[in-house]
Structure 1
Amino acid sequence: MQHLIDIGVNLLDKQFQNDRSEVIERALQNGVVQMIVTGTSLRNSKQGLEIAKEYPNVLFSTAGIHPHDAKTFTNNTIDELEQLAQYDEVVAIGECGLDFNRMFSPQDIQEECFEAHLHLARKLSMPLFLHERDAHNRFCEIFANFMDMTEKSVVHCFTGNKEQVKKYVSMGFYIGITGWICDERRGQALQDAVKYIPLDRLLIETDAPYLLPRNMENRPKNRRNEPSFLPHIVNEIAKFMGVKPEVVAKHATENTRKLFNLPEPSLDI
């Protein structure tokens, strides 16, 4: 299979603190040649940048505040994120967006934080790494004022239905698909929805250590997802899109390089 790129890995999660280097090596051995470390808070984004620096041309990072952490947002936050974004390793603004599922941060604060990220990405002409859960309509309403940014943005870890994905595609977004598609219980709507994602708007990710594919053989007993499992997710996406895995891999890799302006991987990988 062609080289793969995992656009969303939470490598700073405590589940990886004891064997992060081994996790990265297993990914490389399984054809996942580049990974983007997700920044979910200011502190987390700074740490992600430092880890990315340790693996040049393999790891990259994002800089942003997850909606769960929007309550930590201050007037200085955007200035600090802008400083982080000056580094070559930082390839997107985010993870940012709206999450009305658990409401760990109040809606008005989430929306203020989200719009500040959108303005920053526009100012810097950078891609956006987006989060949306149970907030589809409001998310689209806010983006109505940022339609120039949709084609430089990915709705990461999409788990919605075909009507929602059709709306996102019509607006111009890239769509990130995870191992949620491997869940025969909760993933049925997504299994149907991927048929409506054009190949030139598809991106792939594990969201590791979360969302371990349920139908994977020899699943780890610790139930931890890893970027090395991305080929399994590609196979499932291909099955429900009605194409060969090589087609999914080719387009997702090309799309990722285009969106995040990633260099080609080192020849010795």
Structure 2
Amino acid sequence: MNGQAGAASRIRRGTLRLAASLPGAARDALLGLVYPPTCIACGAATGLPHALCPACWRGVRFIERPYCERLGTPFAVDLGVPGLLSPAAMADPPVFARARAALRYDATAKRLVHRLKYEDRLDLAAAMGAMMARAGRELIAEADVAVPVPLWRWRLWWRRFNQAMLLARHATRGSGLAVAPDLLARVKRTRPQVGLSRAARAENLQGAFRVPEAARPRLAGRRVLLVDDVITTGSTANAAARALLRGGAAAVDVLAFACVVQDGRVLGGEAAPEPLTAP
């Protein structure tokens, strides 16, 4: 059995070396024979790489208009009036100018975020970023620079990558928009946000972000697209946007892969989604 496993491993390594020497289309075809494409969410077989299977695709809920033009949160009913704001946006206006997300944070979206962050499936960022590019095309077109929400340095060391950075690169690919992770730093270690109320989340993040002094001249007067994976209550987006505005940014918009919707409310709920794994 060990001999068979070793032989299979040598064949795979040889195939990868051969594929690396081939041009793009031939390489993809060869890899597709050895590693058949699977659903990026559940792992079931698919006809195309980096795609969703029919079952997972049916479970995806894209956020489309009509939605609150400030928070990007979906309305249950289309009133046929453009530019409407939600009661949450009027009662408690966010620090950022506008927010957009590609999907509601339901089972399929949660699985994709989980696989990217905790299963090291960095290849999923391309498909997720493409969805974000569609949802945030207006924001991307009007932005001067994209800034991913930074991780605390020890969390970045433990995880080895920042998922917001990966999503920012793929969401802005082909747009000409520069991604500048050095314009915002996380200077305070915060406790996990899961289970905290909206007020506790805001307090936890107070003073967590800062624009480095050396970065201020490059930030001054520019419209920033702040990128993250999930918007829950908006506390992280507000804290990061506040730091960017204090650092000299003219305005901050937010683009995320998914947005939490609970009982028809987004960015205003007190509850937070339970984690799939420890952060």
When normalised by structure 1's length, the TM-score is 0.31
Structure-2-length-normalised TM-score: 0.30
- Higher relative contact order structure (alpha carbons within 8 Å, sequence separation ≥ 6): 1
More helix by share: 1
